[in-house]
């Protein structure tokens, strides 16, 4: 039982780190602001949650576990909201997508050139 907990916590930590790195690779490789936001917003939340759950399993002390659970809940609230805030600000300021023809916002009626 104990080794199972240790192995699962190590696996979760490794998966979390891999997701973090892949989010970083996504920022560098994706062509456009919105796709980059999507890459980092999704992977970052999941990576942080997995790292935190791995740390919870690794740690026998109760008080530290309570604090880690609170951090996990806060992250699940705050991280998607931050991604939403960024993407909303971009839409509101008419940042166009990769294809210059139209952007997704229905309120737009003019086209600006995109600078990736």
If binding means CB under 8 A, how many residues of this protein chain bind another protein? Answer: 8
Complex with another protein: residue 82 or 111, whichever CB lies closer: 82
Residue 62 buriedness (CB in 10 A; 0-12 / 13-18 / 19+): exposed
Among 7, 21, 66, 78, binds another protein (CB under 8 A): 78
State yes or no: residue 18 binds another protein (CB under 8 A): no
Q: How far is CA 96 from the centre of its chain?
A: 22
**Binding residues for another protein restricted to 87-106, rule: CB under 8 A:** 88, 92
**Cα–Cα distance for residue pair 10/96, rounded to 1 Å:** 42
- Listed residue (103, 18, 4, 17) closest to 58, CA to CA: 4
The least distance separating another protein from the CB of residue 8, rounded to whole angstroms, comes to: 26
Among 5, 6, 10, 77, binds another protein (CB under 8 A): 77
**Cα–Cα distance for residue pair 28/42, rounded to 1 Å:** 15
Question: Which residues here bind another protein, judged by CB under 8 A?
Answer: 74, 77-78, 81, 84-85, 88, 92
């Amino acid at each position: 039982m104990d080794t199972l907990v240790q192995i699962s916590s190590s696996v979760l930590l490794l998966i979390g780190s891999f997701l973090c790195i892949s989010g970083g690779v996504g920022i560098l490789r994706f062509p456009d602001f919105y796709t980059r936001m999507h890459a980092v917003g999704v992977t970052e939340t999941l990576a942080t949650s997995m790292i935190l759950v791995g740390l919870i399993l690794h740690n026998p002390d109760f008080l530290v576990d309570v604090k880690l659970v609170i951090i996990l809940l806060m992250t699940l609230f705050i991280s998607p909201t931050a991604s939403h805030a960024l993407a909303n600000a971009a839409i509101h300021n008419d940042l166009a997508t990769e294809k210059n023809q139209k952007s997704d916002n229905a309120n737009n009626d003019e086209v600006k050139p995109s600078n990736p």
